[in-house]
Amino acid sequence: MRRCASDWPLPAPSVRPASHGARQRKPQTKCIGRRWHCDAFEPRPTEEGRGLVKILHVYKDFDPPVHGGMERHMALMCRFQRQWAEVEALTCSRSLRTRRVERDGTPVTEVSEWGRFQSAPLSPLFPWYERKLWADVVVVHVPNPTAELGYLLARPRGALVVRYQSDVVRQATAMRLYGPVQMTFLRKAAIILASSAQYLETSTTLQPVRERCRVVPLGILPEEFAFDDAARIEALHARYGGAFVLFSGRHRYYKGIEYLVRAAKDIRAPVVIAGEGPERPRCQALADELGVEAAFPGALEPDDLVAHLHACSVFVFPSIARSEAFGLSMLEAHACGKPVVATRLGTGVEYVNLDGQTGINVAPGEAGALAEAVNSLIEDDARRAEMGAFARMRVTTDFHAEDVARREFELYKKALG
Is residue 271 pLDDT above 50, yes or no?
yes
Tell me, letter by letter, the H, E, C secondary structure of 164-214: ECCCCCCCHHHHHHHHHHHHHHHCCCCEEEECCHHHHHHCCCCHHHHHHEE
Residue-level pLDDT at 12: 46
257: closest CA among 323, 174, 317, 336? 317
Rounded distance between C-alpha atoms, residue 187 and residue 208, angstroms: 9
222-398 belongs to CATH 3.40.50.2300: no
Comparison of pLDDT for 193 and 35, the residue scoring more: 193
Give the rounded percent of residues in the chain with a pLDDT score beyond 70.
Answer: 86
Rounded distance between C-alpha atoms, residue 221 and residue 401, angstroms: 6
Confidence grade of residue 385 (pLDDT, cut at 50, 70, 90): very high
- Measured CA distances, 296 to 247, 257, 316 (Å): 10, 11, 14
CA 80 to chain centre: 15
Residue-level pLDDT at 67: 85
Residue-level pLDDT at 36: 35
277: closest CA among 244, 254, 305, 308? 254
Is residue 68 pLDDT above 80, yes or no?
yes
Comparison of pLDDT for 235 and 27, the residue scoring more: 235
Stretch(es) of the chain classified as CATH 3.40.50.2000: 50-219+400-416, 222-398
Average pLDDT over residues 120-128: 96
Are 404 and 77 a contacting pair, CB within 8 Å? yes
330-333 own/partner pairs: CB under 8 Å, 24+ apart: 330/359, 331/218, 331/219, 331/220, 331/395, 331/399, 332/220, 332/225, 332/305, 333/246, 333/309, 333/391
Half-sphere exposure of 175 (CA within 13 A, CB side): 9
Sequence-distant (6+) residues with CB within 8 A of 115 are 121, 122
How is residue 87 annotated by DSSP?
E
Hey, how many other C-beta atoms are within 10 angstroms of the C-beta on 278?
A: 10
Is residue 336 pLDDT above 70, yes or no?
yes
Strands 314-316 and 120-121: what pairing? unpaired
Strands 106-111 and 120-121: what pairing? unpaired
Is residue 395 pLDDT above 80, yes or no?
yes
**Would you call 88 helix, strand, or coil by DSSP?**
strand
Which class does domain 50-219+400-416 fall in? alpha beta
As to burial, measured by CB atoms within 10 angstroms (0-12 exposed, 13-18 middle, 19+ buried), residue 239 is middle
Residue-level pLDDT at 22: 38
CA 310 to chain centre: 22
Is residue 9 pLDDT above 70, yes or no?
no
Is residue 10 pLDDT above 80, yes or no?
no
Torsions phi, psi for 193 (to 5 deg): -100, 115
Give the Cα-Cα-Cα angle 372, 375, 378 (nearest 5 degrees): 155
Instruction: State the average pLDDT for the chain.
Output: 89
Q: Which of 19-28, 177-186, 370-379 has the highest mean pLDDT?
A: 370-379
How is residue 220 annotated by DSSP?
B
Hey, how many other C-beta atoms are within 10 angstroms of the C-beta on 2?
A: 14
**Would you call 232 helix, strand, or coil by DSSP?**
helix
Torsions phi, psi for 263 (to 5 deg): -75, -25
Average pLDDT over residues 68-94: 96
